[in-house]
Amino acid sequence: MFRPPSLLPLVKELVLDNCRSIEGKIEGLTDEFEELEFLSTINVGLTSISNLPKLNKLKKLELSENRISGDLEVLAEKCPNLKHLNLSGNKIKDLSTIEPLKKLENLKSLDLFNCEVTNLNAYRENVFKLLPQVMYLDGYDRDNKEAPDSDVEGYVEDDDEEDEDEEEYDEYAQLVEDEEEEDEEEEGEEEDVSGEEEEDEEGYNDGEVDDEEDEEDAAEEEGSQKRKREPDDEGEEDD
């Protein structure tokens, strides 16, 4: 029986918000999503992420409005390239719960809105000290400056992509301009050559006309000389 090839390895974004998880598992969410970069599982009833499949290319993970209280150490193993993590509205109460996130070396943005841990004294200072790789906590940096975008990592990546697109566009535009200049030069050379050919043809035709005129003049001159000699010859005969 023919079985069509799976398209799961081609998926890069997956939103499963408000789905129901069973014993910490979401049906259909497997490690077949090899290219997955963004996963959203908001309000799906998760109490743990220990059953999360291995997603090596995952960069953004939305886990807000669940009941997660620990087991965050599995993220370093299953999502080693994670850059943005949203744990808002979960059951995280102390800093020791998020300490395992130190192993996520690429983590740049962390959200803990509405978690009990945010009520601790010097919460922000301690989180930045505990996780020095994090640039934005709850949408603000160390100096309490708001992130350029609510999705910080998305903002950074979009800027990089725009720069790359602009560079590619500039290269393409320059290439097109160079090709147009080459075409114009070739057309100019063709026009010059055709102009020379026309001049040669005109010169050649003029030469033919001149030769014909010379022949006619020579014939007329010869005829006049004959007419001059004929009377003289007749006078000689009379003598």
Distance CA 25, CA 159 (A): 35
pLDDT digit string, tens, across residues 66-111: 999 999 999 999 999 999 999 999 999 999 999 999 999 999 999 9
Distance CA 147, CA 154 (A): 11
Distance CA 27, CA 19 (A): 9
Contact present, 75 and 98 (Cβ < 8 Å) = no
Distance CA 112, CA 102 (A): 15
Q: Which of 8-17, 23-32, 55-64, 92-101 has the lowest mean pLDDT?
A: 23-32
pTM of the model: 0.62
Contact present, 98 and 112 (Cβ < 8 Å) = yes
Q: Which residue has the tokens 């709850």?
A: 138
CATH code for the domain defined by 8-147: 3.80.10.10
pLDDT digit string, tens, across residues 153-208: 443 444 455 555 556 556 656 766 777 777 777 766 666 655 555 555 555 455 55
Domain ranges of the chain: 8-147, 148-229
